[in-house]
Structure 1
């Protein structure tokens, strides 16, 4: 049995990502990998990403909807990092050559106008710091076999980060009701799921406030100009080669992603 620690898990996770291989969850061999240790690993992998030339551009929330929490057997949302290497330009296919077993989920995306720093941030204060709202998709991936993990595992793995794409419509938050903004998920021409913004902690602004307050406990803030993915509104759907997934938002336009080859 391997003797894991923060350094060795960070090294292994980045190696799995670079080599497109998955593995069993670390908590099978290192039960002490808890939430706090997971964030230590996550921050170390971020530093290594920055050291190799990536730029920090925002954050993402994971497991903010009950659907996602129930599927993963986890009860608490997580915060993780976004870098410029995770941007998927609109119209580009899923980068199958870089990902292990990608899945796509619809997201409400914020572009921050002002710095947001906890603790004690409310949803109203959080929304006042938002400049623009977009529809988007996160292409989640996991370095764990079958997407099976405990809380510490998935936090260490940067909350299953892969890639993300933003939609064509950008509006100020005052221009729509985010709790009722709906999305239809279409896979291969068939509608398979739907949800509203209320699926994300009751309102995506609550998720944003949660993120600011959580980051404050680790000495971080959400910076002006950052992108925030507020969490999957529905379950995530496999983006296999040759597949086609479309996300149709009420106000925020449509995002179409081809599964690539």
Structure 2
């Protein structure tokens, strides 16, 4: 089976909210997996979506342990994934939706090469609290690193709170993920590579290797600081981060 067919299978699983089995296609190398990922994004672009940014995965030990993998990964965000704050999310559009808390950053200058940590304020002007909705397109929520990358790192939606000016010291902020005002997961921003700004550096390195440009206005989700929680109907999901703010959406 060629990689175009693999991308088509994953894309159709996304559109129809019907999971596929990894056995439906052969083992992929990591390079193959990123090729499939980009092909699935291209199918979205052909339907009129546009790239709005990028996400990092496995930037915390909690997520690595939860998913049983140990490598940093990245994927794309598109306009079709955007969830407006306080809006309702129809869970019937997803297979096995989960939510995780994030810190989002807004790019102000093009990033075309690997940048050092000290230069982050030159390229990032805003930050915000965010929720990422993740959803596997596979029948079982277990997969290899390559399977996950091919599936665009399980990215399915994102909800971003009010933008505020970038703060350079955000490495020790309490984070809570709540359902109906009940805290289900809590952690600290230091769990994100010890410094939530570090994923920006990692993304600049990884993207520049494959010639992907990070443009002004693009969003970067730095990765979760806690384990994810399953999404259930008729809940209000909230992420709250000390000194940054809170954002919520409802499920139906």
Give me the TM-score of the superposition, normalised by structure 1: 0.91
CA distance in 2, matches of 1:142, 1:127: 34
Structure 1 equivalent of residue 216 of structure 2? 224
Give the conservation status (yes or no) of the 8 Å contact 2:84–2:249: no
2:86 match: secondary structure: coil
**Correspondence for 2:166 among 167, 173, 197:** 173
Unpaired segments ≥5 residues, structure 1? none
Kindly report the root-mean-square deviation, in angstroms, between the aligned alpha carbons of the 2 structures.
1.6
Aligned CA distance change for structure 1 residues 173 and 151 (closer, same or farther; 3 Å): same
Give yes or no for the alignment of 1:54 onto 2:46.
no
Q: Does 1:252 align with 2:249?
A: no
Q: Quote how far apart the aligned CAs of 1:96 are.
A: 1.3
In structure 2, the partner of 1:30 is 26
Report the counterpart of residue 233 of structure 1 in structure 2: 225
State the distance in 2 between where 1:192 and 1:240 align: 13
Are positions 1:101 and 2:96 aligned together?
A: yes
Which residue in 2 is equivalent to 1:183? 175
Question: Does the 8 A contact of 2:103 with 2:196 survive in 1?
Answer: yes
> Which residue matches 1:73?
68
* Whole-angstrom CA distance in 2 between matches of 1:215 and 1:22: 29
C-alpha distance in 2 between matches for 1:254 and 1:50: 31
Partner SS state of residue 89, structure 2: coil
TM-score by length of 2: 0.94
Following TM superposition, where does structure 1 have runs of at least 4 consecutive aligned residues deviating by more than 6 angstroms?
none
Give unmatched runs, 5+ long, in structure 2.
none
